[in-house]
Chains A and B, each alone.
Chain A
């Protein structure tokens, strides 16, 4: 899995609570991404990072924030979880931006009740 660890692997939380998902890489890659995967929607980009403290929004960023204080860690925070954020979240990394493919973590299954 290209040295990518997502934690937790599974989480159940209640509506309105904050949730933070962590992505840790050991590849020293510059680019990191958060996607969500939902049936019928494929993968949709939430946020991405092109370096420490450099992040940008993706297609479905509302309700999510990210932080990257170190090259190896990219955190995704749901400020106040809603049921519509129940999903499988994938972190991905790439070495050279658009010229190199994404390598994905194993995913975090989040259920918001």
Chain B
């Protein structure tokens, strides 16, 4: 049974700082997805990582995938308040982590 674990579950950081969110999964998976959810809203697709070593970047966010370590990371560079949201990873599309609630403080 595929399990997906994210950490941390809560992250409070200051603007301008860097941080990484980790997503571990329990069985072989070649596909990893990252989503963003604003409070009270739906989920929005951020990144689709389809192979080992895949790296994708959009603005201050960069996602990577290491299928051998069963690990994906979402790196935040020089955080800004607009990045405050909950971030989910999902393996094989169907199994989601519990989410990381990110709060960026001025």
* A residues with CB within 8 A of B: 1, 33, 35, 40-45, 48, 58-59, 90, 92, 94, 97-107
Contacts and interface: CB of A to CB of B under 8 A. Distances in A.
Given A40-B98, A42-B98, A102 B42 contact: no
A1 B98 contact: no
B88 A99 contact: no
Contact of B96 (A42, A94, A103): A42
17 contacts: A33-B94, A42-B99, A43-B43, A43-B90, A43-B96, A45-B94, A45-B95, A90-B42, A92-B43, A99-B50, A100-B48, A102-B33, A102-B45, A102-B90, A102-B93, A106-B42, A107-B42
A76 to B, nearest CB: 16
Contacts, number: 51
Given A42-B97, A42-B98, A102 B92 contact: no
Most A CB within 10 A of own CB, among B42, B50, B99: B42
A103 B96 CA distance: 14
